[in-house]
A and B are shown apart, each in its own frame.
Chain A
Amino acid sequence: MRPTRFKNPQAEDGQFQLRLIVAYCFMLLMFGILIARFVWLQVYQYEHFSTLAQNNRISLLPILPNRGLIMDRNGVILAQNYSAYTLELVPSKMPDMNATIAELAKLVNITPRDEKLFKKLLGESKDFESIPLKVKLSEEEAARVAANAWRYPGVEVKARLFRDYPYKELTSHVLGYIGRINQKDQERLDDEDKSTNYKGSNYIGKTGLEAVYEDDLHGQVGFEEVETDSGGRAIRSLRRTPPVNGNNLKLALDIRLQEVADKLFGNRRGALVAIDPTTGGVLAFLSKPGFDPNLFIDGIDSQSWAALNSDWQKPMINRALRGTYPPGSTFKPFMSMAALETHSIGMHDVRPAPAFFTLPGSSHQFRDSNKNGNGSANLAKAIQVSSDTFFYKLAWDMGIDKIAPTVGQFGLGRPTGIDLDGEASGVLPTKEWKAKRFARYKEEYRRWYPADVVSIGIGQGFNSYTPLQMANAVAILANEGVAYKPHLVQEVVEAKSGKSRLVEAKPDRTLPFKQENFAYVKTAMQSVMKPGGTAWRLGIGLPYTMAGKTGTAQVVAIKQGAKYNASALAEQYRDHSWFVAFAPVDKPRIAVAVIVENAGFGAAAAAPIARGLFDYYMTGKVPSSISGDMKTMPMDTADDAAATSD
């Protein structure tokens, strides 16, 4: 290829040469500015900078903000800070660490647990970092170490802020806990460009609200610019930017209500979620058993960790948030809404409610809870007596395509979006779900059988939901379709100004269902608490109106023709006891879902808890049974017991 000649060489050349000159002058000008800058820095500012660099080195000391408090709706403190002395070691400054620790052990009581924890932190930290050997020294211990510290280089007594959860187990699954910043946390902070704000910080929210609201709770680190001498000691403070303390969280939770719920549970396992239907605020959020979050703050020792992990009751699992259970008969009100909305049944249609339901062309008998059946019933009656055969037939008639979309509107089968991490989504079965769930199996497993819907109609089969989802669904039902996103935190309050930011003040959405259908189902649920209803005994002497639904979720399938016999089964295979309810019926102020694991019939275990909780919430009276024996609570055996027979 030959070099191309220019069209008008002279004009083009002139143009090009001009541009070269412009570019060259521009470069010289810019370098000139640079030189001017150097002259300014190195001649005019020379003394200033060499003072900074040589005579006194300026250190920036981070000043930690106080972590925000967490309190309940009445201002009761659930998470607080307190100051205590810690004995800390800087490994890089110590000639012989083991000898020093041995010497220190003569001054303060260092337990093997302290030492183990120290070794663990030592492995995770850098040499020049200060690592706590013993936290929470007594005044006397602190004084003793301080008096002798000069003999041991690298030993310091520091006042530090600690987190404390006064309600321990009671709030563990709500608040979560904070813990020391580890390698992984540090990497995340670096990635999110937040590590500056954590200079000097030791702790970060690990789980629960402490983690979700970390940005609010932590606050802004402050710093002090100090002149230091050649030994690194601070001489005087030059400038101080105060830290901004973390924001306080005010929860919708009522800790006394939570405590009542906890007491009513006693030592049983399960979960309870109570929601204010008019705001979505979570009034009580309990997962039993809990654990003591205080154990985690300074790093949990391996013994306590192993104990928590190997406990067969799994106290670390947040059952309210992550436990998924078949809803049992508590599903029926939502089924009923679906039936009414899709015109699958009229409000006054009376249909048979026999002892057995048999599919066309099959001999399999789906039994009713009442072994004699309930004769015939309309929809309201079927809810009241919890007729299984009625709902088997109804579900069979409707098919899953009519049930799932309507029931799904109540938020069942998907995360509610509550302000906690790790929420389980549960399962609202559909044809697509089944095909996907069993995608790796044979076609006959993946296919949706018409009969699949039968047990779903009474809340068994494939469907399973978290207690939180159930409480949320009941709240939406109680509120006649106006749905709020459930949330634990009601307000974020700025520590300094006291200004607060409301969380979720507006309804999330409104369900497009008819008001009369809501009213119908609510009235039917109210009749559950009345004579003839499955929880009638719990309705005795109600000073307010209450609507509910019992449920029994089966853990193991009972063979055709066999009889469920709780006492013959190992405890962990016994049915779960469910109850969902709201009160008062007209203008509901509280909606609740309770599950007691392996406790049998809904009316027997879960419903009394809800009644006690409502009594306290509506009247302020602590149920007398709490201090006494739980067995004295009213019991009901006429519940939808045999819902377990499918």
Chain B
Amino acid sequence: MTLQPHLIKRLWLTIKAPLDGPLMLFLGLIFALSLVVLYSANNQGLDKIDNKLIYTLLSLTIMWLLARSRPQSIMNFAPPIYGIGVVLLLAVHFKGVTVNGSTRWLELGITRIQPSEIMKIALPMMLAWFFQKYELSMRWWHYLVAAVMIAIPCALVLKQPDLGTTMLIAASGFFVLFFVGLPWKVILGGMVAAGACMPVVWNMLHDYQRRRVMTMIDPMEDPLGAGYHIIQSMIAIGSGGPWGKGWLNGTQTHLDYIPERTTDFIFAVYSEEFGLVGNIILVFLYTLVLSRAMLITAGAQTLYGRAMAGAITLSFFVYAFVNMGMVAGILPVVGVPLPFVSYGGTATVTLFVGMGMLMSIGNARR
């Protein structure tokens, strides 16, 4: 049987139908950029690019499936997914795999999973579901229940210990509260209280976490240790200059000065080779993605849709900002990937799942 042109066309239309055109375009551009950087960061090896294409294809499929589902159907999965996520986090606590002193993974025979990643999506889903359900009978104490829902996974992830992910999960939960209408005085009061709590939190931190914060303030404090990454990545960015050293010409990168240069620190590679111009282009692309996501959020019809779309959008922003801020030395080093650019499977899947849900919410208004 030969494929008829009109069959191909029909197939294409079926695939394309649920996808958001502008979002796909912006993501595609970022993705193309990421392949270019990865090729350079990986010393012109194609192995990681192959892998990246494979899991991107997988992620796209999941995104497509989500995009063509109705938000309400997805929403109904919130409690079970949240429940499973909590159970898996508990399992990590008791039976997890420990690497470098942190217990974050579950061994599943064929592969290892990091349940805290699931929570990045499961928690906002759960909260959005919860507020949708009690929308007409909202009382102040519903916020307390929500706070508990946020606290449970946060406490478990903090225990691993994984401060960075804890903050991302907590943030995703907060964004839902923000969009369902948590009063401004509570938000501002919370900020003041958080500021007041800083000394207490500081005392609860692990030594290495404190050192990271101190290192951010003065990387030269520990130039051979925790400060080393930051100093080297700042040199990479700074020496990139306005126009960059050019593709494949990053000396810092290719002389092995950049740690984890295909994952969390990939931005240093990009910035060294493409300079300020490249950075502005990338930030602009992210802004386009965020603007489109904001538009979808603004058009959402249900409380669930608004809260979920808003949380996905803001979380996406936080990833991009925290990663670039960390590599540029204005935020402490926490393990956050650069969205759609960093090499790494789980984070990419999570991001595409978010995009899929966003598109599903976007489709629902039509």
- Give A contacts to B, CB under 8 Å: 1, 3-4, 6-7, 12, 15-17, 19-20, 23-24, 27-28, 30-31, 33-35, 37-39, 41-43, 45-46, 48-50, 52-54, 57, 60, 62, 190-193, 195-197, 199, 221, 223, 225
B328 part of interface (Cβ distance < 8 Å): yes
Q: For the complex, would chain A's binding face be called helix, strand, loop or mixed by DSSP majority?
A: helix
Q: Enumerate chain B residues within 8 angstroms of A7, measured Cβ to Cβ.
A: 135-136
- Are B283 and A41 in touch, CB under 8 angstroms? no
| B294 near A62: Cβ-Cβ < 8 Å | no
CA distance A27 to B294 in the complex (A): 11
Chain B interface (Cβ within 8 Å of chain A)?
72, 76, 100-101, 132, 135-136, 178-179, 181, 207-208, 211, 222-226, 234-242, 251-252, 255, 271, 275-276, 279-280, 283, 286-287, 290-291, 294, 297-298, 301-303, 306, 310, 313-314, 317, 321, 324-325, 328-330, 364
Distance in angstroms between the alpha carbons of A192 and B283 in the assembled complex: 37
Contact between A38 and B328, CB atoms less than 8 A apart: yes
Q: How far is the CA of A456 from the CA of B269 in the complex (A)?
A: 73
Contact between chains at B101 and A3 (CB < 8 Å): no
- B224 nearest CB across to chain A (Å): 5
- Bound form: Cα–Cα A142–B126 in Å: 72
Contact between A34 and B325 (Cβ–Cβ < 8 Å)? yes
CA distance A329 to B263 in the complex (A): 69
Closest chain A residue, CB of each to CB of B99: A191
Cα–Cα, bound, A16→B304 (Å): 13
**Residue from A20, A34, A41 within 8 A of B238 (CB atoms):** A41
Q: Which residues of B contact A38 (CB under 8 A)?
A: 237, 271, 276, 279-280, 328
Contact A196 B101 (CB under 8 A): no
List of B residues within 8 angstroms of A37 by Cβ: 325, 328-330
Q: Output the nearest chain B residue to A62 by Cβ-Cβ distance.
A: B224
Contact of B275 among A17, A42, A195 (CB under 8 A): A42
Known contacts A35-B279, A190-B100, A42 near B303 by CB under 8 Å: no
Q: Would you call A27 and B100 a contact (CB within 8 A)?
A: no
**Contact in complex: A41, B225 (CB < 8 Å):** no
A57 neighbours in B (Cβ, 8 Å)? 255
List 20 other contacts, CB 8 Å, given A19-B178, A37-B329, A38-B237: A1-B72, A12-B181, A19-B181, A20-B310, A27-B287, A31-B287, A34-B328, A37-B330, A38-B328, A41-B234, A42-B240, A43-B241, A43-B276, A52-B235, A53-B235, A53-B236, A53-B252, A190-B100, A193-B211, A195-B225
Within 8 Å CB of B283, what residues of A?
A: 31, 34-35
Which listed residue (A31, A35, A53, A191) contacts B101, Cβ 8 A? A191
Given the contacts A23-B178, A31-B283, A3 and B234 also touching, CB distance less than 8 Å: no
| Chain B positions within 8 Å of A54 at CB level | 239, 251
* A7, closest chain B residue (CB): B136
Instruction: List the B side residues contacting A196 at CB < 8 Å.
Output: 222, 224-226
By Cβ-Cβ distance, the 4 closest A-B pairs, closest first, are A49-B238, A196-B225, A53-B239, A50-B239
Q: Could you say which residues of chain B place their CB within 8 Å of the CB of A195? A: 225
A residues within 8 A CB of B236?
53
Best-buried of B225, B239, B252, B303 by chain A (most CB within 10 Å): B239
A-B contacts, 29 of them at CB < 8 A, read: A1-B72, A3-B301, A15-B181, A16-B306, A17-B298, A19-B179, A20-B179, A23-B314, A27-B287, A27-B290, A27-B321, A34-B321, A34-B330, A35-B280, A38-B276, A38-B280, A41-B328, A42-B279, A43-B241, A50-B241, A52-B235, A53-B251, A54-B239, A62-B224, A190-B100, A193-B207, A193-B211, A196-B226, A197-B225
Q: Which residues of A contact B314 (CB under 8 A)?
A: 23, 27
Interchain nearest-CB distance for B18 vs A (Å) = 18
Once the chains are docked, how many angstroms separate the CA of A7 from the CA of B303? 11
The minimal Cβ–Cβ distance linking A244 to chain B, given in whole angstroms, is 14
Q: How far is the CB of B134 from chain A (nearest CB, A)?
A: 10
B303, A4: Cβ atoms closer than 8 Å: yes
Residues on B with beta carbons closer than 8 Å to the beta carbon of A199? 224
Q: Are A42 and B241 in contact (CB under 8 A)?
A: yes
B223 contact from A27, A60, A197, Cβ within 8 A: A60
| Minimum distance in angstroms from B281 CB to a CB of chain A | 11
Contact between chains at B301 and A45 (CB < 8 Å): no
Bound-state Cα–Cα, A48 to B235, Å: 9
Task: Name which residue of chain A comes closest to B206, CB basis.
Answer: A193
Closest CB of chain A to B15's CB: distance in Å?
26
Closest to B276 in A: A42
For the complex, give the distance between the alpha carbons of A392 and B2 in Å.
102
User: Hey, which chain A residues are within 8 Å of B291, CB to CB?
Assistant: 24
Contacts of A225 in B (CB 8 A): 223
If A3-B302, A31-B283, A37-B330 touch, whether A48 touches B294 (CB-CB below 8 Å) is no
A4 partner residues in chain B, CB cutoff 8 A: 132, 135-136, 302-303
In the bound complex, what is the Cα–Cα distance between A164 and B290 (angstroms)? Answer: 65
Contact check, B271 vs A60: say whether CB atoms are below 8 A apart.
Answer: no
Q: Which residues of A contact B252 (CB under 8 A)?
A: 53
The complex places the Cα of A12 from the Cα of B287 at a distance, in Å, of 27
A232 to chain B, nearest CB (A): 11
User: Are A48 and B178 neighbours in the complex by a CB distance under 8 Å?
Assistant: no
CB-CB < 8 A to A24: which residues of B?
A: 290-291, 294
The answer to whether B101 and A60 touch across the interface, beta carbons within 8 angstroms, is: no
Question: B207 — which chain A residues lie within 8 A by C-beta?
Answer: 193
Structural contact, A39 and B238, CB atoms closer than 8 A: no
Given contacts A34-B324, A35-B280, contact A28 B239 (CB under 8 A): no
- What is the bound-complex CA distance between A514 and B293, given in angstroms? 81
Given contacts A16-B179, A23-B178, A37-B328, contact A48 B287 (CB under 8 A): no
Q: Is the CB of A41 within 8 A of B237?
A: yes
Tell me how far the C-beta of B230 lies from the nearest C-beta in chain A, rounded to whole angstroms. Answer: 12
How far does the alpha carbon of A37 sit from the alpha carbon of B251 in the complex, in Å?
22
Query: Whole-angstrom distance between the alpha carbons of A218 and B302 in the complex?
Result: 63
| A16 contact set on B, CB distance < 8 A | 179, 181, 306
Chain B residue contacts of A27, Cβ below 8 A: 287, 290, 314, 317, 321
* Complex Cα–Cα for A33 and B101 (A): 34
Contacts of B211 in A (CB 8 A): 193
CB-defined contacts of B364 to chain A, threshold 8 Å: 3
Provide the residues of chain B in CB contact with A19, threshold 8 Å.
178-179, 181, 310
Determine the residue in chain A with the shortest Cβ distance to B287: A31
Give, as a whole number of angstroms, the nearest-CB distance from A50 to chain B: 4
Separation of A45 and B135 alpha carbons in the complex (Å) = 53
Between A19, A24, A33, A42, the greatest number of chain B beta carbons within 10 A of the residue's beta carbon is seen for A42
A15 to B181, CA, bound (A): 8
User: What is the CA–CA distance of A195 and B225 in the complex, to the nearest angstrom?
Assistant: 8
> In the assembly, what is the distance between CA of A173 and CA of B76, in Å?
67
Within the complex, what minimum Cβ distance (angstroms) separates B208 from chain A? 5
The docked-state distance in angstroms from the alpha carbon of A31 to that of B286 is 9
A3 to B252, CA, bound (A): 54
If A34-B325, A223-B223 touch, does A46 touch B132 (CB 8 Å cutoff)? no
Q: A23-B178, A28-B287, A38-B279 are in contact. Are A45 and B294 (CB under 8 A)?
A: no
Q: Does B297 contact A31, Cβ atoms closer than 8 Å?
A: no
Contact flag A46-B286 (CB < 8 Å), given A20-B297, A34-B324, A39-B276? no
Residues of A within 8 A of B301 (CB): 3
Question: With a CB–CB cut-off of 8 A, which chain B residues contact A193?
Answer: 101, 207-208, 211
| Set of chain B residues within 8 Å of A31, measured between Cβ atoms | 283, 286-287, 321
The interface residues of chain B lying within 8 Å CB-to-CB of A53 are 235-236, 238-239, 251-252
The CA of A42 and the CA of B234, in the complex, are separated in Å by 10
Beyond A19-B178, A19-B179, is A60–B224 a contact (Cβ under 8 Å)?
Answer: yes
Query: How many angstroms between the C-alpha atoms of A62 and B310 in the bound complex?
Result: 49
The answer to whether B223 and A46 have CB atoms under 8 Å apart is no
For A191, the chain B residues whose CB sits under 8 A away are 100-101
Q: How far is the CB of A336 from chain B (nearest CB, A)?
A: 50
A184 to chain B, nearest CB (A): 15
Return chain A residues, CB-CB under 8 Å to B76: 1
A28–B283 Cα distance when bound, in Å, is 10
**A230–chain B nearest beta-carbon distance, Å:** 11
